Structure 1
């Protein structure tokens, strides 16, 4: 294949990968939190020819040790509807059964499930409906996880169509996690934030057609009163892990394949550079200069309150270029190149820590660690360039294979911290990950060329490093 056609081939591969994954993951509209409450009950009654007006509604979900749950729903209806239902018990049971088992709302909005209707009764204007759900939660690491208000990462949300919605755990248990942790309290309405009282988690909404809505995924975890927070957090993370793995397969894997193809091009350019008469000192100075310019630009961006996302990139360029200029021998051994990668990654951490001090963010330490992992693909590129030049000189295929594997692993780690852990993003994120692969290859090219030239220079001077 002609070299001029290579970009078009890579573009074609990217398009094929893009078409192989769903382009969007649509976010559905919120569903009522209770299929037998409020407006949902009214819809079921209307289908049976009864005009009912629910003025007050409650739902209590009593979760049992085996993961099943008993729903107890009360609906207060208008007088005419109450009189009609009191006279016609078959109509009452038909409406209640329809609302409980096929109503618009929980349980089992985002997955298949079966609900068993138990009973219905009416006292004056208050209707009580009981039904059982055999699959309300599951046990993980000894704790009971109720995922009624978790959308498998889709985040469609729930309309709080009951004046009070309570999830009650088994006797002797308590809510051991913090269901409010995923809810942005600053912007949430009072109804969205649950009230925690021992083993009860309660949300307060409205029987109106459009009451307040909960858009955040929430787990409710039950355990003994002495259960530690670390234990509960581990259970929540384990429950959410399948969503993250799906995100890796949908958004990171295609970009990883594209990055692997682009690395072939980076390797080819590095081999040519190793054979050319380029001055490695000038290349190192150029890389360090780019890093310095990046720092100045980041400082100007910070002065105008604009996000200086390229500060980490500037740190890698400045550290790599400066060390390659001051200590040329660093880029002549695999150990030295990996030490340089660690130093540049640490430089990213220092820069991000400084930015966190200037502009404090939530979970600052976690943000810094994620930022360091996100820059790993660039940090290890000098080691990749060194292996490419060594392969060209001594045909060390083992070293080159390990270099490709290390570069791909570093990109996979960066993608793993980029995609959300507990939610499914829009399909357009795939364009960002594919673009990130292209950007990582382009930005890493000067670093790979620098390492290749240092290695070639050492070989020509008769100081080729020992093979590991």
Structure 2
């Protein structure tokens, strides 16, 4: 009985791996923000047969009003035979400088008497014009700049605003001068990455509002597209699946009456399923544990068992209303989340991690199918509760503001697999909720609608 599900999971894992492999291979090699600075410059020189060591490296990026930038890179090289070669061989020096700094045009290079190699570059598209004469640069982001940034490269990098302009938004960790004309960075890590840099008119009356408007102009269309692709499509798929299950449950109610058997054995059945899920990490062979799912599965099991114990009491089932079922589902979700966090200490080698916390919202849609089933049992086929509960965690997981065209297929596939899993695993809760509606009170139930099995669930 266990072999088909595990075989399906294995096939899914292989499919995901096959899609992810070419994407990973297509990712460009890591390089610093200033790849003509420091160790990166020394590595390029070594590739040309010049062995040198850089003591200190600085870069000044002067922005122009048309969005282009002039880079002045200074590498202080330890005096050696290599320094003399660079000073005396302009062709070799320019070849190294040109190769070291990608996506720019080398304008000139020289070596001073004290061993400072200075190279000047022009970058045509460092920034782009936006609303109100603002300039917006994505050079400090992986999403809109270089795709695989790895550090600053230089010991110090200074960005100078165009004449008549000042820095609006700076990158995290940067120091902005008192007059707002210069932005200075001495390191660049993941904590500093991810924010657009803007330059606004120096004497503008609405300078504070121009930066968010400029960024919104860039991100707005991309966010709308990503929401539609990464959230809208999987959510519509999930709504269709659950709508089909709800239609089957609705048809069953007309053929089998009041779900007497489901109602009487709902508590015992959910307790059994919950115990199996909670005990899953203790199994000798665990498939779900590969991706670190042991703690969330344990939490869901505890939540299901708690719901089952509660529904084992006849008086609870008879007094069920839409509000009490909704409140019970919310409490079960919170209990599942708390149990997952507690279970992380038992099953997770790394304890409570960001990955675990980010996975907790994905337990919500399963328990949301309980009140959704109650609504179905009352003749209301609108499944907005379950659909919203599915859409919110998917939205929190989706890259809403990043241009990730290459990852679209993989992400949508993963969300689709998640939709199928929740629809299948949550079907019993939907059925139990409908059985509670058949025997519970009318008070607090959503407005009933005449049953029309031909009406599609939204």
Q: TM-score range by the shorter chain?
A: 0.5 to 0.7
Distance 2:243 2:18 in 1: 23
Matched, 1:122 2:114: no
Whether contact under 8 Å (1:145, 1:220) holds in the other structure is: yes
Of residues 232, 241, 248, the one that matches 1:268 is 248
Of residues 143, 151, 155, the one that matches 1:163 is 155
Distance 2:20 2:230 in 1: 10
Q: In the TM superposition, what are the counterparts of 1:123-142 in structure 2 within 5 Å?
A: 123-124=112-113, 125-138=115-128
Q: Could you say which residue in structure 2 is the equivalent of 1:202?
A: 185
Deviation of residue 104 (structure 1)? 5.5
Deviation of residue 129 (structure 1)? 1.6
Q: Which runs of 5+ in 2 are unaligned?
A: 280-293, 346-350, 451-458
Matched, 1:31 2:21: no
CA offset digits 1:83-137 (Å, max 9, x no partner): 44444545544544x23xxx365x5xxxxxxx34333343222232222222223
Matched, 1:147 2:144: no
Q: Could you say which residue in structure 2 is the equivalent of 1:73?
A: 73
Distance 1:244 1:464 in 2: 32
Q: In the TM superposition, what are the counterparts of 1:94-105 in structure 2 within 5 Å?
A: 94-96=95-97, 98-99=98-99, 103=100
Closer, same or farther in 2 for the Cα pair 1:232/1:63, shift >3 Å? Answer: same
Closer, same or farther in 2 for the Cα pair 1:203/1:309, shift >3 Å? Answer: farther
Distance 1:156 1:86 in 2: 33
CA offset digits 1:171-194 (Å, max 9, x no partner): 6634645625xxxxxxxxxxxxx5
Closer, same or farther in 2 for the Cα pair 1:280/1:50, shift >3 Å? Answer: closer
Distance 2:228 2:341 in 1: 28
Deviation of residue 449 (structure 1)? 1.2
Range with bigger deviation, 48-57 or 157-166: 48-57
Q: Could you say which residue in structure 1 is the equivalent of 2:61?
A: 61
Q: Could you say which residue in structure 1 is the equivalent of 2:285?
A: none
Q: Could you say which residue in structure 2 is the equivalent of 1:451?
A: 433
Q: Could you say which residue in structure 1 is the equivalent of 2:19?
A: 22
Q: Could you say which residue in structure 2 is the equivalent of 1:414?
A: 393
Distance 2:46 2:82 in 1: 11
Deviation of residue 72 (structure 1)? 0.9
Closer, same or farther in 2 for the Cα pair 1:293/1:349, shift >3 Å? Answer: same
**Aligned-residue CA RMSD in angstroms?**
5.7
Q: In the TM superposition, what are the counterparts of 1:225-264 in structure 2 within 5 Å?
A: 235=215, 239=219, 242=222, 249=229, 253=233, 257=237, 260-261=240-241, 264=244
Of residues 327, 330, 350, the one that matches 1:345 is 330
Range with bigger deviation, 82-91 or 247-256: 247-256
Distance 2:388 2:447 in 1: 25
Closer, same or farther in 2 for the Cα pair 1:356/1:343, shift >3 Å? Answer: same
Q: Could you say which residue in structure 1 is the equivalent of 2:456?
A: none
CA offset digits 1:140-176 (Å, max 9, x no partner): 6766543223222997331543332333444663464
Whether contact under 8 Å (1:281, 1:325) holds in the other structure is: no
Range with bigger deviation, 240-249 or 134-143: 240-249
Matched, 1:437 2:409: no
Range with bigger deviation, 248-257 or 117-126: 248-257
Deviation of residue 138 (structure 1)? 4.0
Q: In the TM superposition, what are the counterparts of 1:289-438 in structure 2 within 5 Å?
A: 307=295, 310-311=298-299, 314=302, 318=306, 326=316, 328=318, 336=322, 340-341=325-326, 344-345=329-330, 348=333, 371=360, 374-386=362-374, 388-389=376-377, 400=381, 402-403=382-383, 407-419=386-398, 433=415, 436-438=418-420
Q: Could you say which residue in structure 1 is the equivalent of 2:286?
A: none
- Equivalent position SS for 2:141: coil
Closer, same or farther in 2 for the Cα pair 1:319/1:137, shift >3 Å? Answer: farther
Whether contact under 8 Å (1:51, 1:81) holds in the other structure is: yes
Distance 1:175 1:464 in 2: 50
- Equivalent position SS for 1:148: coil
- Equivalent position SS for 1:344: helix
Deviation of residue 444 (structure 1)? 1.8
Deviation of residue 71 (structure 1)? 0.9
Q: Could you say which residue in structure 2 is the equivalent of 1:210?
A: none
Q: TM-score, normalised by structure 1?
A: 0.60
Distance 1:328 1:54 in 2: 79
Whether contact under 8 Å (2:274, 2:301) holds in the other structure is: no
Whether contact under 8 Å (1:118, 1:132) holds in the other structure is: yes
Q: Which runs of 5+ in 1 are unaligned?
A: 1-6, 108-114, 181-193, 206-212, 298-305, 392-398
- Equivalent position SS for 1:35: coil
